Structure 1
Amino acid sequence: MNNEIKAVVKLPALKRYGYFIKKVADFEEVWGLYDGGWAMTEDSEGNQLVPFWPKREFADLCNEENWEGYKPKKIDLDVFIDKWIPGMKNDGSKIAIFWYNNDSIVVDPERLLSDLEEELENY
């Protein structure tokens, strides 16, 4: 694990969220875990959560415990914004950014879209 990955994983969840927004805008991609279907989990109230990471290396760290056999899979940012966000909104799903040992920021699709669009205005 390289130094950047180690340092980011240790950041508080809110700082990792900011990192996620910047990196996703930079590289125009989002990473999920996939194995015949996308990795999902639930919060303590039973809400469906879909976990996402800004880079393959971060997703790789999570395919061992809860999602053994899942592989990181890239989603182009345009597809994420145009298809995924409306789909998750329709499903009532929430998004878990940087899922690690239940330590992640959970946001509504609209909030993530708003934050991404705001960051993309800088490009």
Structure 2
Amino acid sequence: MSTPLDPSQIATIQNYDSEKRYQYLLKEVVANREIWILTDEHGCVMLNTEDDDCVPVWPNREFAEAWATGDWESCKAESISLNKWHSRWTYGLADDQLAVVVFPNVDEDGLVIDPEELDFELRQQEKKQSR
């Protein structure tokens, strides 16, 4: 379980560029053993880019909840254990030909990557943190 972030931490992290937010997500997800999505009555929230249908993911509840405004105000932040992400989500997203948008900020800016790439990077981070 993660420690709640204070507003100054949230503001600082929100201003990171997409690559720095990606690195932050990798460390936080591995440290806290959970990744965050938004859900509604239809399931997981999806975003669309020109090329891909994507599932947005966040490293902490606070960042996911910050997205639950406007059209998405009825959405709920939901955590997925890292083990469940590895065992079910990566393969399910890949099978459905969905991409992952990593830690989009309020301007909808985030890295779009394949689920297998995110899974690989999370596993690499796990090896680093277990040393």
3-state SS in 1 of match to 2:70: coil
User: Aligned AA for 1:95?
Assistant: V
Unaligned runs of 5+ in 1: none
RMSD in angstroms over aligned alpha carbons? 1.1
Q: Could you tell me the TM-score, scaled by structure 2's length? A: 0.89
| Pairing 1:78–2:83 present | yes
- 1:88 maps to which residue? 93
Within the candidate set 94, 116, 120, 1:114 is matched to: 120
Q: 1:6 to 1:15 in 2, by over 3 A?
A: same
- Structure 1 residue 102, shift from structure 2 partner: 2.4
Write the distance in 2 (CA, Å) between the matches of 1:67 and 1:19: 24
- Structure 1 residue 3, shift from structure 2 partner: 1.1
Q: Which 4+ stretches in 1 moved above 6 angstroms?
A: none
User: Aligned AA for 1:28?
Assistant: R
Unaligned runs of 5+ in 2: 1-5
Within the candidate set 56, 60, 71, 1:55 is matched to: 60
| Pairing 1:28–2:33 present | yes
Write the distance in 2 (CA, Å) between the matches of 1:70 and 1:59: 10
Write the distance in 1 (CA, Å) between the matches of 2:30 and 2:8: 22
User: Aligned AA for 1:56?
Assistant: R
Q: Percent identity?
A: 30
Higher mean alpha-carbon deviation, 35-44 vs 76-85, is at 35-44
Write the distance in 2 (CA, Å) between the matches of 1:5 and 1:95: 22
- Structure 1 residue 110, shift from structure 2 partner: 1.2
Write the distance in 1 (CA, Å) between the matches of 2:37 and 2:71: 13
